[in-house]
């Protein structure tokens, strides 16, 4: 469909302005500290260097933090989706008593403001001896996200054609085999959408890390970045470089899985 030139005349500058903060942070990250100090933050780079990135990754311990984030994100996403898938399967394909109520209560758990969980979660983690471990960060995020993923997968599994299940039943397939060999493969699109979404959510988390972790070598990238901000408070090139390091993985997930990502955002809204 053709658009009037006016449409593009408005949208092109608008889009550029929209992306300006990102472009600007890239420019700052590539400048030398002395250049920023001498000519001000708003000036165009005089020379380009990767010094800011090197300092952020090594001195700011962001390299360790990226590994922590990767471990936590992969474990959380896999465990959340696995648990959500089995719960959704039970609720959508079997006559569990009060299953609608169970499903809505599970979803409600995900809508609670995290603030009401923080203090007790921190105490419980201390009580069972997992405080200040990545394991604690994984389990608490699995628990908190489960309701939403279960709700979405439930909607998807309920819509699967019942002929498939009747055929499986006639073949003598038990509930476990039906789940693994029929339901999971059919749910791939929904799982992909949720995985893209969950990856960004878990990777971007800050509040849970601040609740169950204490030692800075265990921090995921978001928490490590705020520490970096304290340690290099006037080295804007280092802070900008660190922020970009933190932003790049989710940006990659977004560009590779854009379609999944957008459909993932919609599945939870009843559309």
Partner 1 sequence: MTAVQDAPVRAAVPPRQRRRRRGVPPLVWAFLLLPLAVELFWVFWPAMNSFSLSFTSWNGVGAARPVGFENYQRLFTDPIFLTALGNNVIWAIGFGGLSVAGGLALAVALNRPGRGVGLYRSAIYLPMVISLAVTGLFWRVMYQPGGPIDVGLGAIGLGELQQQWLANPDTALYAVLIAAVWRQVGYIMVLYLAGLKGRDPSLEEAAAVDGANAWQRFWKVVMPQLRGVNTVVFAVTVIDSLRTFDIVWAMTRGGPYNTTQLLSTYMYQQGFTLVNLGYGSAIAVVIFLLALAFIITYLVRQARAEEL
Site stretch for partner 1 (CB under 8 A), options 45-53, 54-62, 116-124, 186-194:
116-124
Report residue 188 CA to chain centroid gap. 19
d(CA 48, CA 58): 19
Q: Of 74 and 109, which CB lies nearer to partner 1 in the complex structure?
A: 109
d(CA 169, CA 163): 10
Residues 65-84 touching partner 1, rule: CB under 8 A, are 83-84
Q: Of 67 and 251, which CB lies nearer to partner 1 in the complex structure?
A: 251
d(CA 262, CA 271): 12
Among 45, 143, 186, 192, binds partner 1 (CB under 8 A): 143
Cβ-Cβ contacts under 8 Å for 133 (sequence gap 6 or more): 212, 218
Cβ-Cβ contacts under 8 Å for 156 (sequence gap 6 or more): 88, 187, 190, 267
Residues 234-263 touching partner 1, rule: CB under 8 A, are 236, 239-240, 242-243, 246-247, 250-251, 253-255, 258, 261-262
Site stretch for partner 1 (CB under 8 A), options 47-55, 58-66, 70-78, 115-123:
115-123
**Other C-beta atoms within 10 Å of 118: how many?**
16
Nearest Cα neighbor of 53 from 249, 252, 240 is: 240
Site stretch for partner 1 (CB under 8 A), options 45-53, 58-66, 186-194, 233-241:
233-241
**Other C-beta atoms within 10 Å of 213: how many?**
23
Find the shortest distance in angstroms from Cβ 57 to partner 1. Answer: 15
Q: What phi, psi does 144 have (nearest 5°)?
A: -75, -35
Residues 7-66 touching partner 1, rule: CB under 8 A, are 7-8, 11-12, 15, 18-22, 24-25, 28, 40-42
Report residue 238 CA to chain centroid gap. 24
Nearest Cα neighbor of 254 from 189, 193, 191 is: 193
Residues 179-218 touching partner 1, rule: CB under 8 A, are 179, 200, 203-207, 210-211
Site stretch for partner 1 (CB under 8 A), options 55-63, 70-78, 167-175, 186-194:
167-175
219 binds partner 1 (CB under 8 A): no
Among 89, 213, 219, 260, binds partner 1 (CB under 8 A): 89
- Measured CA distances, 33 to 37, 40, 55 (Å): 6, 10, 11
Site stretch for partner 1 (CB under 8 A), options 49-57, 59-67, 171-179, 186-194:
171-179
Find the shortest distance in angstroms from Cβ 41 to partner 1. Answer: 4
């Amino acid at each position: 469909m053709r658009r009037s030139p006016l449409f593009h005349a408005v949208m092109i500058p608008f889009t550029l302005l929209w992306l300006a903060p990102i472009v600007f942070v890239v420019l700052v990250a590539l400048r030398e500290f002395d250049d920023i100090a001498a000519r001000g933050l708003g000036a165009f780079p005089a020379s380009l260097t990767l010094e800011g990135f090197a300092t952020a990754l090594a001195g700011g311990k962001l390299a360790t933090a990226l590994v922590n984030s990767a471990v936590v994100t992969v474990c959380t996403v896999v465990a959340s989706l696995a648990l959500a898938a089995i719960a959704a399967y039970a609720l959508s394909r079997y006559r569990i008593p009060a299953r609608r109520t169970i499903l809505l209560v599970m979803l409600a758990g995900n809508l609670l403001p995290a603030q009401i969980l923080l203090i007790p979660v921190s105490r419980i983690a201390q009580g069972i001896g997992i405080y200040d471990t990545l394991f604690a960060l994984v389990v608490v995020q699995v628990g908190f996200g489960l309701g939403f993923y279960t709700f979405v997968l439930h909607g998807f599994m309920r819509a699967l054609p019942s002929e498939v299940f009747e055929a499986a039943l006639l073949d003598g397939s038990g509930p476990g085999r039906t789940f693994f060999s029929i339901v999971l493969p059919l749910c791939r699109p929904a799982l992909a959408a949720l995985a893209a979404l969950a990856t960004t959510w878990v990777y971007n988390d800050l509040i849970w890390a601040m609740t169950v972790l204490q030692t800075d070598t265990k921090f995921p990238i978001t928490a490590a970045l705020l520490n970096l901000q304290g340690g290099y408070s006037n080295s804007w090139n280092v802070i900008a470089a660190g922020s970009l390091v933190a932003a790049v993985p989710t940006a990659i997930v977004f560009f590779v899985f854009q379609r999944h990502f957008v459909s993932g955002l919609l599945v939870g809204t009843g559309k």
